[in-house]
Amino acid sequence: MTLALDATGAPDAAGDRTVVGANLSLPLFRALSGVLAGHPYLKVVVDRAEDTWHLLDTRVHPFHVNYIATRILGLTLDELDADLDAFNASVYTDPERRFLLGVLSLHTDEEADGDERPFLVLETTEADTMHGALLEEFYGYVRGRVDGRLPLLLKPANHGQEHELSHVSETRVPRILSHELFGNRTRTCLNPGEARGRLRYFRTLAEYEGAARELGWSDIVAMPCPPDDVPRVAGIINTAPITPLSHTNVLASGWGIPNAIVRDLDDVVRREGLDGAWVRYSAQEDAVTVERLSRAPALTKPAWHQQRIRLEAPLLEDAPVLALHRLRGADRDSYGTKAANLGELHHVLDSRTADLTAFYARPRPPRPDLLGHLAARLGEPGASRERLRAAAAAQVAQTVRAPEGVALPFRLHHLFLTSSPALQQGIGKLKMALELEAFDVVDSLALSLQQLTRATPVP
């Protein structure tokens, strides 16, 4: 059994600040917490059997389950691993569970007078299936042991918890949903990174469109919601909340550039005169900053700007027109990657040729495999491998379809492109413009080539 430590969070001989049984104040929270997605957070474990709770030192105990097993129940990690699935079920899904696991995160809200007020949010893991009464008990226990001056809200971790809480009064369990919590943040890191460049601040889409042609690799684009066709730049700043799964953030992630929400950028730009200035822009989980540089930095073109795209030569040998379901991945050189991948999808969905249980049958230490999880999801507990294979095939057949179609080999594409001198000339002009980096004419040449391609008859 873990012993209660000093309520100030003083470390023991091993450097562990974990506290058991003490009330939680803001200074104690800060002493124990780590930072995730820009917010301080603290792991907590309520022991219903002992009527106490554990405030975990984040640096020492990264996992609730490991802490419970080794520090409360006296198990070794090997013993935990040997029965990990059953142990997880006992703390995440058992309605009569002994332990309630959660995370407290610290946030701030701006009041009418401009002051920021801290508040705490309590949530479980996404896998937790607490019913409404258990969520109410969890909230009530934590509320009774947190400094009364700190507002405490419960955030449902999944749709099941949202449904359960719909039958519980918000007076008894004040709550906040993910989108409400996310929308309250002044600065949010979407894709981490750091860039030095010229800040280009556009308050409207019309302002952006008027300057879009001038944007380059050394610019940092800031606006309420950058358009999906934003060019490759040094960084992106959103002044209005967007989801981390937005198209522009997917672009930022692929390009490896910083992207963040900075809702107070307008005030910062006006106060420090940053529009058009050279700045250092940093987006990290714990902080997002935009700072003026004393002078323009000596920048060199990034590696991606100098990168030359290499295309493998397609196979132009004689090949037939084939139905998509007859293609496999190895046919990409003759028919293209998209067609070959669709052929692979047909193969995977064909229970006669693919075993949909193979992924779950691989060893997953400390588990021998994940076939038990598959059986539970398919409603086939204890089923044989063959039975699972049939059930998986039936489930996929009911829910997934691959499109039918035909694939034209590159040989036919080549015949078409070489059938027209005008097409050949248009392709030559576009190649030359790219070689000379004459990017100002690339768009018009590409548009002309597109129109020419549509108008040329197929031989």
- In angstroms, the CA 141 to CA 52 distance is 9
Closest Cα to residue 19, out of 141, 105, 145, 208?
145
- Whether 27 shows a pLDDT value over 90: the answer reads yes
Phi and psi torsions of 439, nearest 5°: -70, -20
Whether this prediction's pTM lies above 0.75 is answered by no
Question: What's the residue count for the chain?
Answer: 459
Across the range 394-421, mean pLDDT stands at 91
Query: Which parts of 72-120 fold into alpha helices (H)?
Result: 77-82, 84-92
- In angstroms, the CA 106 to CA 124 distance is 15
- In angstroms, the CA 384 to CA 36 distance is 42
Predicted pLDDT at 352:
67
SS3 220: strand
Predicted pLDDT at 335:
95
**28-78 per-position pLDDT tens digit:** 999 999 876 567 899 999 999 999 999 999 999 989 999 999 999 999 999
Cβ atoms of 157 and 125 within 8 Å: the answer is: yes
Read off the pLDDT band of 4 (50, 70, 90).
very low
Among 184-188, 313-317, 334-338, 418-422, where is mean pLDDT lowest?
Answer: 184-188
- Whether 346 shows a pLDDT value over 80: the answer reads yes
- In angstroms, the CA 324 to CA 309 distance is 28
Q: Please provide the DSSP assignment of 254-300 as one string.
A: HHT--EEEETTHHHHHHHHT-TT-EEEEEEETTEEEEEE-SS-----
Among 63-67, 116-120, 167-171, where is mean pLDDT lowest?
Answer: 116-120
**349-368 per-position pLDDT tens digit:** 876 667 889 989 998 888 88
Position 105, amino acid? S
Tokens read off for 395: 């489930």
Task: Find how far residue 66's CA is from the centre of its chain.
Answer: 25
Tokens read off for 225: 């919601």
Read off the pLDDT band of 245 (50, 70, 90).
low
- In angstroms, the CA 53 to CA 4 distance is 10
Whole-number CA gyration radius for the chain: 29
Phi-psi region of 119 (alpha: psi -120 to 50; beta: other; left: phi over 0): beta
- In angstroms, the CA 427 to CA 431 distance is 6
Cβ atoms of 123 and 86 within 8 Å: the answer is: no
Cβ atoms of 211 and 275 within 8 Å: the answer is: no
Position 136, amino acid? E
